[in-house]
Amino acid sequence: MKSLLIFGLLMILFLFQTSCVKEVEKIVNVRDTVIVIQKDTITIEKYIRDTGTVLVLTRHAETSGLGTNPGLSALGIERANDLAKLLKPTIFQNIYSSNYNRTIQTANIAAANYSLIPILYDPLNQNQWIQDLINQNKNKKLLIVGHSNTIPELLNILSGTKDYTTIPESEYNNLYIVNLAEIGRFSILHLKYGK
């Protein structure tokens, strides 16, 4: 009887604790990718080093698909808001966007957290641009919003490899955190966020 009572009390305590936990972070290791299933309480701050330059790279959110320069769809606006919420605790000094409606809109939603205006860059001329960007932003935190082909290209330039390939057209939830001491001394963490 005593053991049954103890078991019952433990079950009540367990149920009480699990009902009090609102949101739980779930991290699953898949090769070199860490998948983060976003909850309201999760931020990227714990993945960012305090020293060196930090670049956070992401593809724009989902588009409407209308015209040659589409804006974000309703789902894209929702994802951009999820991204902004995820990034909010991290203080970015600059936010960069290519000059397309979808990237500018994604960047603007995040930039509102910091009262910043995204700085436009040419995604077709990234090699020299990224070198200049790093030289001008030492020890700062930067957000770069690009495209399915330009974000991997930037990662290859930063890593000096050809490891990063075009992001599939159906994927909008990739986030890369590059902790950069200098070109050649870096770490890259690949996260997934949102739905």
For the stretch 117-128, pLDDT in tens is: 999 999 988 999
Domain at 149, CATH number: 3.40.50.1240
Tell me, rounded to whole angstroms, the distance of Cα 67 from its chain centroid. 27
pLDDT (0 to 100) of residue 145:
98
pLDDT (0 to 100) of residue 186:
84
pLDDT (0 to 100) of residue 39:
54
Residues 6+ apart with CB under 8 A from 87: 43, 44, 56, 110, 113, 143
Phi-psi region of 96 (alpha: psi -120 to 50; beta: other; left: phi over 0): beta
Rounded to two decimals, the pTM is: 0.80
pLDDT (0 to 100) of residue 28:
42
**More confident of the two residues 44 and 18:** 44
Q: Which residues of 150-189 are buried (b: 16+ CB within 10 A; e: fewer)?
A: bbbbbbebbbeeeebeebeeeebbbbbbbbbeeeeebebb
Please check whether residue 1 lies inside any domain of the structure.
no
pLDDT (0 to 100) of residue 26:
42
Q: Is the pLDDT of residue 180 over 50?
A: yes
Q: Is the pLDDT of residue 175 over 50?
A: yes
Residues 6+ apart with CB under 8 A from 41: 22, 23, 25
Selection from 195, 178, 192 nearest residue 35 by Cα = 192
pLDDT band at 12 (very low <50, low <70, confident <90, very high): very low
For residue 97, the enclosing domain spans: 23-192
Please check whether residue 4 lies inside any domain of the structure.
no
Please check whether residue 5 lies inside any domain of the structure.
no
Domain total in the chain: 1
Q: For 67-119, what is each residue's pLDDT tens digit?
A: 999 999 999 999 999 999 989 989 999 999 999 999 999 999 999 999 999 99
Q: For 22-70, what is each residue's pLDDT tens digit?
A: 333 444 433 355 556 555 556 677 788 777 899 999 999 999 998 999 9
Q: For 136-170, what is each residue's pLDDT tens digit?
A: 999 999 999 999 999 999 999 988 889 999 999 99
